[in-house]
Amino acid sequence: MTTKPRLHICTTCTASSADAATDPRHGKVLFDKMVETCADQDLPFDIKPAQCLTNCKSGCSVALSGSGRWGYVYGNLDPETIITDLCDLAARYANTTDGIVAWRERPESLRRNVIARIPALD
Ligand code: FES
């Protein structure tokens, strides 16, 4: 069985380190909006919640990972405006074999938000 690449969304993030914790957290808002927006789509990736990606000072954070693919952590995402672009990026990521989405092929809103990239296991 082949596992789809995953988009993990931190559900415990606040939008910035200057913001007090909100209820619901900004990250939970982002997760819920992504799930709602993607509910009727046959996506090439799965969406999963995560509790803290240890990127708490950089706003809403997500991670892309998949078998044989580089992993990426993105931060400073605005849950009110990023849904379409995040879905586009995750689909492009899922459609690669190595996880590398060229800078120019990323949605413009996500070109400068990479916090880290992590080598694949295999
Ligand atoms: S709470 Fe989201 S990265 Fe720590």
Asked whether residue 80 is assigned to any structural domain, the reply reads yes
Mean pLDDT score, 57-72: 95
Asked whether residue 38 is assigned to any structural domain, the reply reads yes
Domain of residue 90, residue span = 6-118
Residue 121 is predicted with a pLDDT of 85
Asked whether residue 1 is assigned to any structural domain, the reply reads no
How much distance in Å is there from the Cα of 55 to the middle of ligand 1? 5
Residue 105 is predicted with a pLDDT of 97
Is the CB–ligand 1 distance for residue 9 below 6 Å? no
118 pLDDT band, cuts 50/70/90, is: very high
Is the CB–ligand 1 distance for residue 11 below 6 Å? no
Give CA–CA dist 106/103, Å, rounded.
5
DSSP labels, the chain: -PPPPEEEEESS--SSTTSPP-SS-HHHHHHHHHHHHHTTS--SSEEEEES--S-GGGSEEEEEE-TTS-EEEEEEE-TTT-HHHHHHHHHHHHTSSSS---GGGS-GGGSS-EEEEE----
Task: State the average pLDDT for the chain.
Answer: 92
How much distance in Å is there from the Cα of 63 to the middle of ligand 1? 11
Mean pLDDT score, 23-38: 93
Total of domains in the chain: 1
How much distance in Å is there from the Cα of 2 to the middle of ligand 1? 29
pLDDT at 20 over 80: no
Minimum mean pLDDT among 37-41, 49-53, 79-83: which range?
A: 37-41
Asked whether residue 63 is assigned to any structural domain, the reply reads yes
CATH number at residue 53: 3.40.30.10
Asked whether residue 33 is assigned to any structural domain, the reply reads yes
